[in-house]
Amino acid sequence: MKDRGRQHFDASELGIALSHYELGVIESITPFEGGSRKSPKVGIVCAQGKFVLKRRDTERGSLPRIRFAHAVQAHLSAAGFPLPALIQPVDSSDTMLMIRDQVYELFEFVAGHSYRGTEASTSDAGTVLGRFHRLVGDFTYDVKMPAGDFHDALAVRTGLNAIPSQLSGHKSVTGREGELLGVAQALFDAYDRAADEVDSIGLSGLGEGVVHSDWHPGNMMFRRERVVAVIDYDSVRHAKLALDVANGLLQFSMSLDPRPENWPDALDEQRLLWFLAGYESERPLTEAEKRCLLPLMIEALIAECVVPIAATGFFGRLQGFGFMKIVRRRVGWLEENAERMTEQILACTGSSGTNPG
């Protein structure tokens, strides 16, 4: 199926952008289809090595946000964190390239394999997130840092209210409008319950700092089951660190099957605990942070699907209504198993990547 709305470079745009870098003879240029559809990327093989050129989605961030993200990457790079180097244009002192109203970034290409769901790779993904939070603990910035997150967010509730009208004309909904309303209401109620629980635990008093905000397997490259590069800093911001941990737990415990229709309702609890133990080997969590994780995972799961479906009617290439039903089932499983899983989370330590139970 054609990826709806995905943007691409044209030849003249590529030529102009690449002329600002010292790359030598270019051997090949290959489009990358992953990531944001509004932020096209190409892989480049040239005399100077292998690189990735990316046009930033300016809707997701103004110039100050992009500069903030670059400052975070420079801070992490100086501390030895695994991330691709940003390549500076030859005619600029900046690490981003501006051509008229477009912003481009050129990164070194880091070779590796994708996430395989093993204990070593899952634990290391958690460890590296913990290292990220520890290394940015002393990061300072001379202007206000970007903020905002998925907890108790007006955008999520507004999106849930908008989805029934957004999807009303889709074939998947015809004759099933009542069911769609029921699914949207069920997710709205679950989001409210989770947000209320997080607030009652005391999220406002928990640790905060710079967060990655998009910590999932697709944003990491592995080599011998260890993380060798973390990519995509478009969403970095200032927020409660527990939100980053909860989203990581969610993303690394979901099914690895690429076909959503085959996804089980249950998350992989073993991978969840491997990830958590890895994280705590770098930054131990407080009891309150741990108690927030399950309801925050519910909020993150709902927020991730609602915003794109409300805007486009789709989640990536998937019909929005069908995907919402998958999410509702998973939310139901999380709610039913929250007490038991929270006990496992409270018992988990950073001493190893194994289930303490």
Mean of the pLDDT values across residues 287-294? 98
Homologous superfamily of the 120-347 domain (CATH): Aminoglycoside phosphotransferase (APH), C-terminal lobe (3.90.1200.10)
Q: How far is CA 168 from CA 158, 161, 175, 179, in A?
A: 16, 12, 10, 12
- pLDDT band of residue 2 (cuts 50, 70, 90) is very low
Q: Residue holding tokens 């093993």?
A: 118
Mean of the pLDDT values across residues 187-194? 98
In terms of Cβ atoms closer than 10 Å to its own Cβ (0-12, 13-18, 19+), residue 108 is middle
Q: DSSP of 83-96, one letter per residue?
A: -PPBPPPTT-SSSS
Strands of the chain (E only): list them: 26-32, 41-46, 49-55, 97-99, 102-108, 208-211, 220-223, 226-230, 237-240, 314-315, 318-319
> 11-108 — its CATH code?
3.30.200.20
Mean of the pLDDT values across residues 31-55? 90
pLDDT of residue 1: 42
- CB count within 10 Å of CB 264 equals 12
- 3-class SS at 36? coil
pLDDT of residue 39: 86
pLDDT of residue 38: 80
Tell me the residue type at 144. Answer: K
Mean of the pLDDT values across residues 118-126? 98
What is the distance between the alpha carbons of residues 195 and 187, in angstroms, rounded to a whole number? 12
pLDDT of residue 61: 63
Question: Over 90: is that where the pLDDT of 7 sits?
Answer: no
Q: Residue holding tokens 């930054």?
A: 283
- pLDDT band of residue 260 (cuts 50, 70, 90) is confident
Lowest-confidence region among 39-43, 92-96, 192-196, 315-319: 315-319
Q: How far is CA 162 from CA 165, 174, 312, in A?
A: 6, 17, 11
pLDDT of residue 318: 86
Strands of 184-294 (E only): list them: 208-211, 220-223, 226-230, 237-240
Question: Over 90: is that where the pLDDT of 8 sits?
Answer: no
pTM score of the predicted model: 0.93
Q: For the chain, give percent helix, strand, coil, nearest 5.
A: 50, 15, 35
Q: Give bridge partners of residue 45 from the DSSP assignment.
A: 28, 50
- CB count within 10 Å of CB 61 equals 19
Residue 246 is inside which H or E element, if any?
helix 241-252
Question: Over 50: is that where the pLDDT of 328 sits?
Answer: yes
CA dihedral 17, 18, 19, 21 (to 10 degrees): 110
pLDDT of residue 356: 36
pLDDT by residue (tens digit) across 225-245? 999 999 999 999 999 999 999
Query: Pairing state of beta strands 26-32 and 41-46?
Result: antiparallel
pLDDT by residue (tens digit) across 76-88? 999 999 999 999 9
Mean of the pLDDT values across residues 176-197? 96
Angle between helices 287-312 and 241-252 (to 10 degrees): 70
CATH 3.30.200.20-classified regions of the chain: 11-108
Mean of the pLDDT values across residues 45-49? 96
Terminal Cα-to-Cα distance of the chain (whole angstroms): 44
pLDDT by residue (tens digit) across 149-173? 999 999 999 999 999 999 988 888 8
Helices and strands (DSSP H and E) totals, the chain: 9, 11
CATH 3.90.1200.10-classified regions of the chain: 120-347
**Averaged pLDDT of the chain:** 92
pLDDT of residue 36: 72
- CB hemisphere CA count around 216 (13 angstroms): 15
Phi, psi dihedral angles at 43 (to 5 degrees): -90, 140
